[in-house]
């Protein structure tokens, strides 16, 4: 299989993700889940995703669709990159094993469906208030926050470009 095809195979439906997760769990692998918009990939994203991946064996990334990003109202012109562009760039990262797009305002439904062993978000969240905390902990999993790499944010990057 070509490298290009391997990258395309990382972007899957939630049903395909669940099948792969069940196989990995059956082989004793620890499944880590995180989510976000990941609009303009920068070193902070790469650092965050590599730290998340280090918490288990397989990293599943729930990626907001364009519509869900717009509903989050980050800014009127967001996302800058469409969901397919964002997914393609993220698929090229070695730390990311699978990408599942979700259209809801939060990844709660996706987390409930996939039941990861570890749920990860940035440390700007309180652990108990992270969407999916109840699902993951009820299934014996852990919810962990990771510090952000200082000096990097998509919003600040956009501001810098516009100067």
Higher per-residue pLDDT: 48 or 75 = 48
- pTM score of the predicted model: 0.91
- What residue segments make up the domains of the chain, in order of their start? 3-162
Query: Beta strand pairing status for 142-146 and 118-122?
Result: parallel
For the chain, helix (H) and strand (E) counts, in that order, are: 8, 5
pLDDT in tens, 4-53: 777 789 999 999 999 999 999 999 999 999 999 998 888 899 999 999 99
Q: Comparing C-alpha atoms, which of 113, 91, 89 is closest to residue 31?
A: 113
pLDDT at 71: 86
**Domain 3-162 is classified in which CATH homologous superfamily?**
HUPs (3.40.50.620)
Q: How far is CA 52 from CA 44, 132, 148, in A?
A: 12, 16, 11
Lowest mean pLDDT across 12-16, 52-56, 87-91, 120-124:
120-124
Q: What pLDDT is stored for residue 15 in this prediction?
A: 98
């Amino acid at each position: 299989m070509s490298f290009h095809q391997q990258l395309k195979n990382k972007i899957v439906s939630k049903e395909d993700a669940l099948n792969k997760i069940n196989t990995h769990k059956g082989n004793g692998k620890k499944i880590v889940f995180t989510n976000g918009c990941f609009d303009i990939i920068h070193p902070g994203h790469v650092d965050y995703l590599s730290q998340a991946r280090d918490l288990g064996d397989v990293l599943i990334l729930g990626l907001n669709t364009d519509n869900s990003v717009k509903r989050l109202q980050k800014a009127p012109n967001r996302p800058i990159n469409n969901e397919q562009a964002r997914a393609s760039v993220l698929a090229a990262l070695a730390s990311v094993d699978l990408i599942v797009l979700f259209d809801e305002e939060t990844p709660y439904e996706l987390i409930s469906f996939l039941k990861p062993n570890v749920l990860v978000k940035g440390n700007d969240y309180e652990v108990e208030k992270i969407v999916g905390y109840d699902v993951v902990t009820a299934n014996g999993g852990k919810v962990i926050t990771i510090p952000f790499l200082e000096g990097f944010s998509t919003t600040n990057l956009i501001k810098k470009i516009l100067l």
